[in-house]
Structure 1
């Protein structure tokens, strides 16, 4: 079997257990209890696919036993139980301090799916819009239940075993509106998300297409010439032989290079690595190993089979001997040639030769363990296999239909996946199959991909379905190119959030209600997400209005002042609103005090290594702090001796940005870096100065077209302290209402006289209510009118 194994601590501290002959209650945390019932009085202490770590610090709780029933009380919940078989009347958990006393009570057997805020789904194969989701561990009424009764078990020797039926094993999460803490409790019991390799956060190129080695090289040459970076090359199934006798195999499974397409696989892989890309190969393992495979005889020898029979070696993931040979013979020889990780494309359902054992979970688990051998940082690429799957990223969500409905569903399903701890979804950006060519749809999907956990372009085996930006009209090609560059520029921020996800239990993408759980509005914006600690993103998932040339998106801004990172428009928060964006933009909003580190290169490299030139976006108006995290790429990313941290601090009263010094394992960082501080929409009355280690230096200062101030200081040693000052208490500049209205109206497909009148009315010096009522009387197209109102009403000072 593969090694190493995941660490487990499945037996709870006896001090956390309250038990009878047939029932057992384990208080895992103040908001999480495990409830078991077994007629034979035998309880399960082995790890399950979900629960690896039931041994948690014993929380404060008290037991009130009144003979006929008992109560277990913590600071978050009150459990009431009649000590008999679990029933609706005999077992309940009340959430303390929750939404309402009436609704916030879970009762055993009471079906309340409408109260769960949703988790994720095994696959989006053939989905054309919204589909039902499996439950998560957070609920609108303060509780959620995870039924672990039918999962299978991990044995002490690292193998698996099915459960015996007839036993109830439930985990009740009773965290009220503290949704983020409920997810952290899930990680505590199930294990954390791992740290992804830095390169996994760049762009992935994937297409189901029979490339030759020369065609693939030519494609990458054109990407490079176009300034479009990619960090991962995904080869779909045509990398291997697919033209196989149907009596032997379907052709979907294969482990032998197609030499007609790739005459020298080693040289091909070496070329991809020399370009700075990592490589993953698609594998459909269900057909086993046929006699046509290069390693058929070796596989037979490993399993004691007679190759003279020419019988296929059956795939059996529940056979430890087969699984050992599966890795040793089939995969490691290809990894030795240069394959970095595997795309596990299992589509054959949840059943194996042992009842209750899910082959998808087995593949994810053991591939991940095998990928971690020799101290390497593991990565798999596969479908979701139920609670606990967050331990085996990255997720492949499946073959969606090309449609606006599919696009509209993806920000929602990506965010709700955080409710079950699944933080690293990768979708087929642009959709996989069917549908029709729609340049705008493709462009909006790329924009969503940039602000998703993993960006992977992909499409089905159709000569007309391709995702290269130059396959679209020039306007769309330019926007897609710019956003694909932006994804690589975001890697310093993304990699910090990658470490935060593993260390603090906060996925990169979360629903708004994880941070603003007591605001009703946070539940009403399914397409809006928190993208890391500093940004909110509202995906544009509808076409542009023809008259206004912008697309509307409904959003909610919490209290405070917010700046759109891409447009520079400043908003007052504390309200719901409709935002409007042209093709070149989506709402990406940062609050006062936000600090966002970026790769400063206009065209970043394919391999997103630690940059020598960094840019920090700064929103003035409130204090801010951010610690950029980098690591040397070795090990699992958790070893502090391999991690470097660079603190960024904004002092609003003093008007000073402080960068550094970098601490920790700085040996892998550039000896010196250039830093650009970009102050978003800052007022003009500032006087930038800079010091390095207290000594004055002359910065390079420039204003951008969006009104941002850029202050650049070259050659700052990584161990030094850089300070960039603007003067005391700098403010944001007023929105250029007239200029923004002119640009909006100029692009609008509307009458010239109407546009002139709208501009005159909205830029007059008359009171705001007079201007808006006059606008209403002009009979402007509805979306154009709303977009103009958005600009005027963005800030109260308008």
Structure 2
């Protein structure tokens, strides 16, 4: 028996003959001007079947030339020059490709400065772990090896049975056009599917033996507390665990003691506006105690009366079809919306060499949803390149620690390098921790803030009775921070859903490392915890606990050239380095000048639909256009044009700002009738003249965030509205510099004599006005300020500082002096085993602090180091291990 038709994608694997160049043992296929497939087989047998990774080789044939002279084959495209010595096979001497724009040349076998991809799981990882290679490198080229992947034949995969010396490579020569490389990859591997709109809300997940009444009451409590959710996760105890056949991790039968009426329970979740998923561990197959056993046993030819288990076999289409028709299908008829595939960590099926059962489950579960028009969607671990077609990713059972939180933004960003952009992490962690609300609360709040600005925000808890992540269990600032983050997440859904469309249609991931847009800036490659969050925002979440004496989190941030605004406060920043200090209410997210961010103006529990009140944040400083995307949120109909877009456009003229809401285009039924628009101009003055063309309006102003809000009601999809702000000849922007407010924040939190705070603020204000040139005056306060407090004041007033970063074993010390002040000096010293300073080149340095530089600590063969940063005569801050008084960076 074969798989069902909807389990078999529509492939287009055979390249146009005009794109191929063959020799006796090689075939080169020019798939794009900067992408070439390289095959070598001693017998001249080449592969045209789709592989697990590559499905669409039939691409438009680019222009290229071919020359064969003196035993050499040359292929030249607009961007690449390939040279191959005929008959030599693939060796470093025989095969080379030059990137003509960069002048860089790859020789077969060269290693690259790969920018990393992702990893299968974070199970048991405390902090960081190694990542598999990605599709991008600083060298400008990468090679994707497809040699050992299985190929599709008659609907399912099979080994290639190729010559042992066969090679199948894809050369990506995109230079630093990283988004171009990702687009080319999805051209041949398949698009990233659109995820359902409801997946963008908050998820509640706990490994716990909930009864249906307990879980229903908990969901009701979330609603009563006005904490929005969109997904309810049922971990493994939904099914029968205690049985005589196996350990109980695998299960397909409702535990009727906990869920006596599962259909009614799932229906009640649906009525609340929640989607549901069940956690499954398919590895142990289907045993005789399961409700589904008789049907699937007969399906695979087993007499049910014998009780012989139906073994899980990812290589067998007969079993796989029965698995979906007789096990998965009936549970979905109960009301299950999607599946969380757990476990399955081994890499190969015993029945077929090279077949990863996790890949098989991801592939087929995603496609199985399309049988009734839904989008491919599953929650599961990463299996391999090509897994971008099966969103979303479950990153595994993470250890509860600050190091684990600090690693996740980096992992999420680097995963975009293989187009796997929709990660779902265990927000708050899974294993370990104390559960102490005072100790754990800060970490949980920071993790949830990151979750709000990550692809999927899934709160998760292990089966530990003294770990409670219900937000209302936390008092004061922790509780406020949790609630704010969870509400903000649902506010962001209109923005996020437009990014879902961009990822699908334009291959642009939601999370983008800074180097995507600033590839020639070295610093962009060394900001592992910063990332672009969609087209308009840049996030740099707090991932370290507050200092003992500052009582604030420290966050060095690099902003690309230009003007930026704090997303919440409207404070203005210039491009370059600055160090941010914040309490638990502080979430470092920045909007670029001209940013347009549509939000849900009335976020609510169980509601992720296109909002009737659309709040649009608009930031001054540049022209911009944002095309808001809306559809039914769940089906694949958008592929046929069943969607609507609304253009939001801003024109910036310094003393005037124009903002237009265009008429919606497309299927207007997806846009709510009589929509209210709250256009929030953040970071602007209050005394501006406002003109609105097309509607009546009201205006309000918030001093705290420098936000002028213009509200227009009753706007239908086919109507347009224009708003203008006039500064009467002066800039419409507010005076919203961030430095003095941060000084005040520091002083509010410092445990120093209250009488010292007003003069400190006065001196800081005088310095910022230019009345004081140096920071020597800080020496007058050295007796009351700790080293960390001195550093915090200095870093706020001048953009100079240092940070240590250790990711993937690459330990680096960074320092910067954006203001190029000559009175800020530094000294770096390495020590040998006996404590004597080393004199090797690069292991000691001193002088004026450079505008930007870094030291590769992991490559130095020494034992201790010390870095001193002198902000003036009286302000010296040291870091390192030679002195107990040193402080962390």
User: With structure 1 as the length reference, what TM-score do the two structures score?
Assistant: 0.95
Kindly state the Cα deviation for residue 42 of structure 1 after the two structures are TM-superposed.
0.8
The DSSP-based 3-state class of the residue aligned with 2:299 is helix
Residues 313-337 of structure 1: per-residue CA shift (max 9 Å, x gap): 1111211111111001101111111
What is the alpha-carbon distance in structure 2 between the residues aligned to residue 64 and residue 431 of structure 1?
58
- In the alignment, what sits opposite 2:375? 377
What is the alpha-carbon distance in structure 2 between the residues aligned to residue 467 and residue 622 of structure 1?
41
What is the alpha-carbon distance in structure 2 between the residues aligned to residue 673 and residue 768 of structure 1?
51
CA contact (8 A) 1:28 1:54 kept: yes
What is the alpha-carbon distance in structure 2 between the residues aligned to residue 163 and residue 756 of structure 1?
76
Kindly state the Cα deviation for residue 551 of structure 1 after the two structures are TM-superposed.
1.2
Aligned mate of 1:339, from 328, 331, 336: 336
Q: Structure 1 pair 295/341, CA: closer, same or farther in 2 (3 Å)?
A: same
What is the alpha-carbon distance in structure 2 between the residues aligned to residue 793 and residue 620 of structure 1?
25
- In the alignment, what sits opposite 1:401? 399
CA contact (8 A) 1:117 1:140 kept: yes
Kindly state the Cα deviation for residue 497 of structure 1 after the two structures are TM-superposed.
0.3
- In the alignment, what sits opposite 2:22? 19
Residues 512-564 of structure 1: per-residue CA shift (max 9 Å, x gap): 11111121121111100000000000121111122222212222111111001
User: Structure 1 residues 646-655 or 765-774, which shifts more?
Assistant: 765-774
Residues 23-80 of structure 1: per-residue CA shift (max 9 Å, x gap): 1111111111111111221111000011101111111222232232222222222222
- In the alignment, what sits opposite 2:885? none
CA contact (8 A) 1:3 1:369 kept: no
The DSSP-based 3-state class of the residue aligned with 1:458 is strand
- In the alignment, what sits opposite 1:652? 652
CA contact (8 A) 1:764 1:771 kept: no
- In the alignment, what sits opposite 2:100? 96
- In the alignment, what sits opposite 1:533? 535
The DSSP-based 3-state class of the residue aligned with 2:170 is strand
- In the alignment, what sits opposite 1:521? 523
Kindly state the Cα deviation for residue 771 of structure 1 after the two structures are TM-superposed.
5.9
**Structure 1 gap segments, 5+ residues each:** none
CA contact (8 A) 1:593 1:619 kept: yes
The DSSP-based 3-state class of the residue aligned with 1:720 is coil
- In the alignment, what sits opposite 1:555? 557
Q: Following superposition of structure 1 onto structure 2, how do residues 217-232 of structure 1 map, counting pairs within 5 Å?
A: 217-232=216-231
CA RMSD of aligned residues (A): 1.9
What is the alpha-carbon distance in structure 2 between the residues aligned to residue 777 and residue 40 of structure 1?
82
What is the alpha-carbon distance in structure 1 between the residues aligned to residue 310 and residue 516 of structure 2?
48
CA contact (8 A) 1:31 1:175 kept: yes
Q: Following superposition of structure 1 onto structure 2, how do residues 331-480 of structure 1 map, counting pairs within 5 Å?
A: 331-352=328-349, 353-437=351-435, 438-480=440-482
Q: Following superposition of structure 1 onto structure 2, how do residues 708-747 of structure 1 map, counting pairs within 5 Å?
A: 708-727=707-726, 730-735=731-736, 738-747=740-749
User: Structure 1 residues 656-665 or 546-555, which shifts more?
Assistant: 546-555
Q: Following superposition of structure 1 onto structure 2, how do residues 636-675 of structure 1 map, counting pairs within 5 Å?
A: 636=636, 638-653=638-653, 654-675=656-677
CA contact (8 A) 1:195 1:637 kept: no
CA contact (8 A) 1:163 1:356 kept: no
What is the alpha-carbon distance in structure 1 between the residues aligned to residue 732 and residue 640 of structure 2?
38
Kindly state the Cα deviation for residue 106 of structure 1 after the two structures are TM-superposed.
2.2
- In the alignment, what sits opposite 1:172? 171
What is the alpha-carbon distance in structure 2 between the residues aligned to residue 788 and residue 8 of structure 1?
60
User: Structure 1 residues 206-215 or 74-83, which shifts more?
Assistant: 74-83
Kindly state the Cα deviation for residue 489 of structure 1 after the two structures are TM-superposed.
0.4
User: Structure 1 residues 226-235 or 780-789, which shifts more?
Assistant: 780-789
Q: Following superposition of structure 1 onto structure 2, how do residues 187-226 of structure 1 map, counting pairs within 5 Å?
A: 187-226=186-225
What is the alpha-carbon distance in structure 1 between the residues aligned to residue 34 and residue 688 of structure 2?
50
What is the alpha-carbon distance in structure 2 between the residues aligned to residue 37 and residue 483 of structure 1?
53
Q: Structure 1 pair 496/269, CA: closer, same or farther in 2 (3 Å)?
A: same
The number of equivalent residue pairs is: 782
CA contact (8 A) 1:51 1:190 kept: yes
Q: Is 1:258 matched up with 2:259?
A: no
What is the alpha-carbon distance in structure 2 between the residues aligned to residue 554 and residue 180 of structure 1?
26
User: Structure 1 residues 199-208 or 701-710, which shifts more?
Assistant: 701-710
Kindly state the Cα deviation for residue 789 of structure 1 after the two structures are TM-superposed.
4.9
CA contact (8 A) 1:676 1:711 kept: yes
Q: Following superposition of structure 1 onto structure 2, how do residues 582-601 of structure 1 map, counting pairs within 5 Å?
A: 582-601=583-602
Kindly state the Cα deviation for residue 624 of structure 1 after the two structures are TM-superposed.
1.2
Q: Is 1:572 matched up with 2:540?
A: no
Q: Structure 1 pair 320/517, CA: closer, same or farther in 2 (3 Å)?
A: same
Q: Is 1:87 matched up with 2:91?
A: yes
Kindly state the Cα deviation for residue 182 of structure 1 after the two structures are TM-superposed.
0.8
CA contact (8 A) 1:2 1:369 kept: no
User: Structure 1 residues 775-784 or 526-535, which shifts more?
Assistant: 775-784
Q: Is 1:307 matched up with 2:310?
A: no
What is the alpha-carbon distance in structure 2 between the residues aligned to residue 783 and residue 181 of structure 1?
44
The DSSP-based 3-state class of the residue aligned with 1:252 is coil
Residues 348-373 of structure 1: per-residue CA shift (max 9 Å, x gap): 41111111111111111111111111
What is the alpha-carbon distance in structure 1 between the residues aligned to residue 640 and residue 627 of structure 2?
14
Residues 618-658 of structure 1: per-residue CA shift (max 9 Å, x gap): 11111111010000235325335310111100111351211
What is the alpha-carbon distance in structure 1 between the residues aligned to residue 703 and residue 615 of structure 2?
14
What is the alpha-carbon distance in structure 2 between the residues aligned to residue 51 and residue 408 of structure 1?
33
Q: Structure 1 pair 25/621, CA: closer, same or farther in 2 (3 Å)?
A: same
Higher relative contact order (CA 8 A, sep 6+): 1
Residues 383-435 of structure 1: per-residue CA shift (max 9 Å, x gap): 11111100000111111111111111110110011111111111111111123
Q: Is 1:612 matched up with 2:615?
A: no
User: Structure 1 residues 720-729 or 590-599, which shifts more?
Assistant: 720-729
The DSSP-based 3-state class of the residue aligned with 1:718 is coil
What is the alpha-carbon distance in structure 2 between the residues aligned to residue 490 and residue 781 of structure 1?
40
Residues 250-279 of structure 1: per-residue CA shift (max 9 Å, x gap): 211111000111110011101100110001
Q: Is 1:317 matched up with 2:314?
A: yes
Kindly state the Cα deviation for residue 782 of structure 1 after the two structures are TM-superposed.
4.5
CA contact (8 A) 1:3 1:370 kept: no
- In the alignment, what sits opposite 2:878? none
Residues 197-228 of structure 1: per-residue CA shift (max 9 Å, x gap): 10011111111111011110121122112111
What is the alpha-carbon distance in structure 2 between the residues aligned to residue 54 and residue 44 of structure 1?
11
The DSSP-based 3-state class of the residue aligned with 2:775 is helix
What is the alpha-carbon distance in structure 2 between the residues aligned to residue 425 and residue 179 of structure 1?
20
The DSSP-based 3-state class of the residue aligned with 2:155 is coil
